[in-house]
């Protein structure tokens, strides 16, 4: 029961094992890959950009897990910058989506097929 009740941060200065890092890396890689599948398969532009946010999440989890493994703060600092980039990307992408929607009255990426080279 102790193991259940003890949140990891209570034992913060203790270094963690490799297996624990592997758990978090697996989840982060899986999140990234699921986002990738969504980005490639979905046709709705808003959902496509949501999937890029999911990929950001996967990357952020890996950064934080490595930071915890090294007992350093650089991982968390870089997640702050990932958040910045995600916010900037969301603003730009959504403005772009609104603009494209006004032109074709459709959110489908296939409405812009004629852009292919």
Partner 1 sequence: MNYPPHHGWQVLFWGCCAWPASDYSTGGTNGSREHVLSFGRRTVEQIISPIALYSVCVLGGLGVALALPRRDQRLQILGGIIFAAALGVAALALGLKASEAGGLPNFFFYPFAIVGLGASVRMVTHPRPVYSALYFILTIIASCGMYLLLSAEFMAFALVIIYAGAILITYLFVIMLAMQAPTSTKEELLDETDAVAREPVLAAALAFILLGLLTTAMFRGIGEVHPAGDPRTAQNSVLQYLPAKVDKILRRADMIDEDERVLRLADGTASVDAATGAITIENTDLHTTRLITADEWPENLGASNLDRLGFNLMHDHPMTIEIAGIILLMAMLGATVLARKHTEFEDDLKASHARRLGLDGSVNTNAGGQR
Least Å distance, CB 22 to partner 1, is 4
Which residue do the tokens 């494209």 mark? 100
Query: In the complex, what is the shortest distance from the CB of residue 116 to partner 1, in angstroms, rounded to a whole number?
Result: 14
Q: Which residue has the tokens 């702050």?
A: 80
Site pattern 27..56 for partner 1 (x: CB under 8 A): x-xxxxxxxxxx-xxxxx-xx-xxx-xx--
Tokens of 85: 């980039």
- Told to check if 117 binds partner 1 by CB under 8 A, we report no
CB of 115 to partner 1, least distance (A): 16
Q: How many CB atoms lie within 10 A of CB 97?
A: 16
Structure-derived torsion over alpha carbons of residues 28, 29, 32, 38, reported in degrees to the nearest 10: -120
Closer by beta carbon to partner 1, 99 or else 117: 99
């Amino acid at each position: 029961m102790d193991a259940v009740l003890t949140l990891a941060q209570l034992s913060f200065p203790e270094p963690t094992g490799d297996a624990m890092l592997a758990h978090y890396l697996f989840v982060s890689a899986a999140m990234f890959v699921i986002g990738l599948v969504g980005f490639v398969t979905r046709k709705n532009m808003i959902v496509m950009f949501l999937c890029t946010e999911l990929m950001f999440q996967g990357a952020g989890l890996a950064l934080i897990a490595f930071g915890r493994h090294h007992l350093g703060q650089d991982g968390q600092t870089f997640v702050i910058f990932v958040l910045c980039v995600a916010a900037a990307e969301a603003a730009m992408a959504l403005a772009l989506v609104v603009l494209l929607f006004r032109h074709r009255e459709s959110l489908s990426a296939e409405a812009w097929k004629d852009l292919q080279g």
